[in-house]
Amino acid sequence: MTQTLLLLPGDGIGPEVIAEARRVAEIVAPDLAFQTGLVGGASIDANGEPLTVETLVMAKSSDAVLLGAVGGAKWVDVERNLRPEMGLLQLRKGMDVFANLRPAFCFPALVDASTLKREHVEGLDIMIVRELTSGVYFGEPRGIERGIGEKSFGFETSRYTAGEIERVTRVAFDIARGRQGRVCSTEKSNVMESGLFWRETVTALHAEEGIGVELSHMYADACAMELVRAPTQFDTILAGNLFGDILSDAAAMLTGSIGMLPSASLGKEGTPGLYEPVHGSAPDIAGQGRANPCATILSLEMALRWSLGRPEVADRVFSAVGKALENGARTADLGGSLSTSQMTDAIVAEL
Ligand code: IPM
Ligand code: MG
């Protein structure tokens, strides 16, 4: 049966990097069928909302979704529920992709591109597993109470059910088993009830199902510090939605450029995954052909591996990116001068 890859280019540099990933996909997986849809600002402009039911239905009936980026200055004054970012959150929630995998891998050729010294990032290979569809991002009630002067307030709810914690922890355990077998779970159990419950739940699940996995715990703030002090100590980091968001940005910079980092968001077995570069829409360089396509091409690589059942093809893409970098191919974010399509040419030449 033909597999379908839904492309959602989105905004800013999104369309530029998605076009390059599509070129690579057409070479390594010529039998794939492509569909294209709108998300974020592009969807607001066309349909008045950042994610339409039609796009969500297309996403859920595809085999994998590859998304570029959402957001931009044009839509900052749009009502909150209609902001481009909401389209992304609704897509994650609608597809129920609760486990977000964010690898922070330092390609040997880029060891000197990091702001950290070579000795700290050489051999860096971390996988952050971030819970993606719950926690403070989605907890109710939330809101802003205005009009009561000094007592006006804004608030949200940080809530995690046992089931939500367990299902993402299981993914972290599975991922770790395919790596070094070490999971470091992060939260703020010293100040947050939801953090204490997170730690208890992860610990209990580990006792029941954690064979082959070494579990440790760290407060999220300490983890942020350790990520820049001695990052190679980590194998797999498990985090809730908000802390995972922050820790993954910190980890991204260890690898040289956020333009290198892919992500995979997975749901229940047999449901399509959502793949996106970790970088944003980068409005400052949009339309100039300067964006680094690697994060999106590596997101395609993750889609081939985790949703499309083609690990050998994924390996080929991964090593082609590594070889292109070894041969000196660099976009501006990595200190080079290649354009987006020239960088892809360099990767394609290695395939
Ligand atoms: C990310 C981004 C998103 C998030 C934004 C764009 C909603 O920062 O994917 O890390 O906070 O999850
Ligand atoms: Mg983020």
Q: What is the CATH number of the domain that holds 311?
A: 3.40.718.10
Ligand 1 surroundings by CB, under 6 angstroms: 85, 88-89, 245
Structural domain including 126 reads 115-255
The pLDDT assigned to 78 comes to: 87
Residue 113 has pLDDT above 90, yes or no: no
Q: Whose CA is nearest to atom 9 of ligand 1?
A: 278
243 and 125 in one domain?
Answer: yes
168 and 63 in one domain?
Answer: no
166 and 234 in one domain?
Answer: yes
234 and 121 in one domain?
Answer: yes
Q: SS3 for 13?
A: coil
Mean pLDDT of 215-234: 97
| Mean of per-residue pLDDT scores for the chain | 96
CB 123 within 8 Å of CB 299: no
Query: Is 110 within a domain?
Result: no
251 and 180 in one domain?
Answer: yes
Q: Over the stretch 115-173, which tens digit does the pLDDT of each residue have?
A: 899 999 999 999 999 999 999 999 999 999 999 999 999 999 999 999 999 999 999 99
Query: Could you tell me which of 184, 254, 179, 193 has the C-alpha nearest to residue 219?
Result: 184
Q: Which of 255, 270, 297 is the last residue of a domain?
A: 255
Q: Whose CA is nearest to atom 7 of ligand 1?
A: 85
Ligand 1 nearest atom to the CA of residue 276, by list position: 9
The pLDDT assigned to 258 comes to: 85
Provide the 10 A C-beta neighbour count for residue 48: 10
Domain count, the chain: 2
Q: Whose CA is nearest to atom 11 of ligand 1?
A: 245
CA distance 323 to 343: 12
22 and 75 in one domain?
Answer: yes
The closest ligand to the CA of 250 turns out to be 2
CA distance 168 to 18: 28
193 and 272 in one domain?
Answer: no
230 and 168 in one domain?
Answer: yes
190 and 225 in one domain?
Answer: yes
Query: Is 108 within a domain?
Result: no
342 and 327 in one domain?
Answer: yes
74 and 23 in one domain?
Answer: yes
Query: Is 37 within a domain?
Result: yes
Q: How confident is the model at residue 28 (pLDDT cuts 50, 70, 90)?
A: very high
300 and 231 in one domain?
Answer: no
CB 160 within 8 Å of CB 197: yes
pTM of the model: 0.94
Using the mean position of ligand 1's atoms as its centre, give its distance from the Cα of residue 276 in Å: 11
Residue 253 has pLDDT above 90, yes or no: no
The pLDDT assigned to 252 comes to: 87
Mutate to test the pocket of ligand 1, among 88, 91, 101 (most ligand atoms within 8 A of CB): 88
Residue 256 has pLDDT above 90, yes or no: no
Residue 100 has pLDDT above 90, yes or no: yes
Query: Could you tell me which of 251, 269, 268, 272 has the C-alpha nearest to residue 260?
Result: 251
Q: Which of 239, 255, 271 is the last residue of a domain?
A: 255
Mutate to test the pocket of ligand 1, among 39, 80, 81, 85 (most ligand atoms within 8 A of CB): 85
